[in-house]
A and B are shown apart, each in its own frame.
Chain A
């Protein structure tokens, strides 16, 4: 695993915009960063792929245990939704995608920092933008990136489960360019799988007393939502979730995995696993420095590094052993390892001068050397 510096393409902004990425710059700084790339060996990719598959399997075991145990209080989910979540697991409602954040330096086993299993971001960048970058900048080379074709396969599997005449709706906070880009990309792959798709903003979803509806009053039978489950459960329409006929993607059971409480539960179930970090519901289990994570935090929000004497907060947090990200050219690098369906499908890399990855951390492409 090596970081290579290189000259960006002169018209890279126009090129990524043509692929639907008009959120390539935040605050005047590039978010899509092609002034560098990472080179991996095939053996390193094999390690990441195997760790991702293994971690996903562990996570599914954890869901099974949580659902069968019937106690979802540990993951801070209101009791009124427990049965509904369990039913979605027992029905095998589809989980389309997720992204593990891994600490990996090319030598030690990858460590799971968290699993963004509900609303993972940086999808378009990983699946499309870096693929086209590779075609132009490293032609003839390979990349660990089967995300696009695996997504189409998964949408075909969804099509086989539903009435293929149903329209699939895609929702999120669509006046946010990044969210809109991701939602539009997901609609694109859905349509390539042979289903009709339509976008609507999350606030435009209606309720007519029986069904969630679109702006024309049509029932929404399938809804892809780039909007976290924990937000939906706290909003006015939440009680309607329990009685609606809408099939949600991601499925309700995925909220058990996107929740940071899954980290100590995994450690309880698989202590000492080489791809897991020690994690606990108690700060006192760590005598030295550790990382505090808000149970429902996202994109670095609610994450803080605690020194040995720091007490931390008590409310809805978990604590995880400190595992510093590898540093390349003064930048901390994190691997986002994608799961599509139940398969490891590719990676994206984010860099930041700070040790905590946030939503403005730069996305950097990769290739297989």
Chain B
């Protein structure tokens, strides 16, 4: 127990000294295992982890989904999504903000990244909201929050990584994210209504569209719809595995981007290189976290903690609730993926030991990551908007996002209480 606690302490100290988190985790895992089991064993184990993570067919799901998202972002499909949502709901108070959330949800169904979703939407939705006289704090708040739908609504990079490290079925995780994703979108729309009710000038109604315009806008989103049906339908229907689905999705997105003329050779190359960079960054963390968790698993900490918590006789839901509280607090200052990978070796055995479904816990993990991504002071989505929308100040962005943080926390509580929200859809899968 003590060894593992020291390990965690050293990682945090190194991180504060600005050592990249992956290197801190890897080094602590390596040295820790070396001290416990001997240096030869530690070296052999580290080399094996690097080898296994490098040569893994199923892990090709990660770069392929990233590639799909990046192609889709370049293809400009987000414009059509936003326009379609706008024609239906733009004329109500706060309608453009509602439309942004709907478009984010739609975009999230073809893109597995929160940052990419927020960045894409900031280019599509923000200018439109500004033109219609929306308050900047509402526009940025809604884009930052809507972006997080990218990781809850499948496909989702975070779910893929959670599935890999915990050996949970990725297809089931994807199915589990659908209802909570819609719930999050709904909660965000409630948030928008609340803001525009309190301050009607923040989101004035736009012009009403005719039914002709609505149908024409709907026709334009067939590309998105087709990709969603083929990729996610294929995975749910058991026609292909998540890895195969990712390959089909990436190719489909490539063809769309190409057919729409948005892929010059230069852009294609950029998209590919960018996707490999994101992949390499994620795999560094993945490899380091695996080395670290083989150290943690060799200590008595996971077992001790599990025994201790089971012994306390707390209600199981309270235990998970306490974990979520820790995550939400840590998520305000820590990078979310590292936070999850660092804690999984300790938390996951407790959760399964209490008899909970790993798929449900996966959904909760995604929700805390969503919350972490938009909670000040260190929320990646907020930084994305701050970098892309130079005309809005960071305090304005912070101001607009609090209500949405609260809404997502409410969604987290609902998903915690009502497990069927996550588990009903996967129950139909073979």
The answer to whether A and B come from one shared complex is no
B interface residues (Cβ-Cβ under 8 A, vs A):
none
A interface residues (Cβ-Cβ under 8 A, vs B):
none
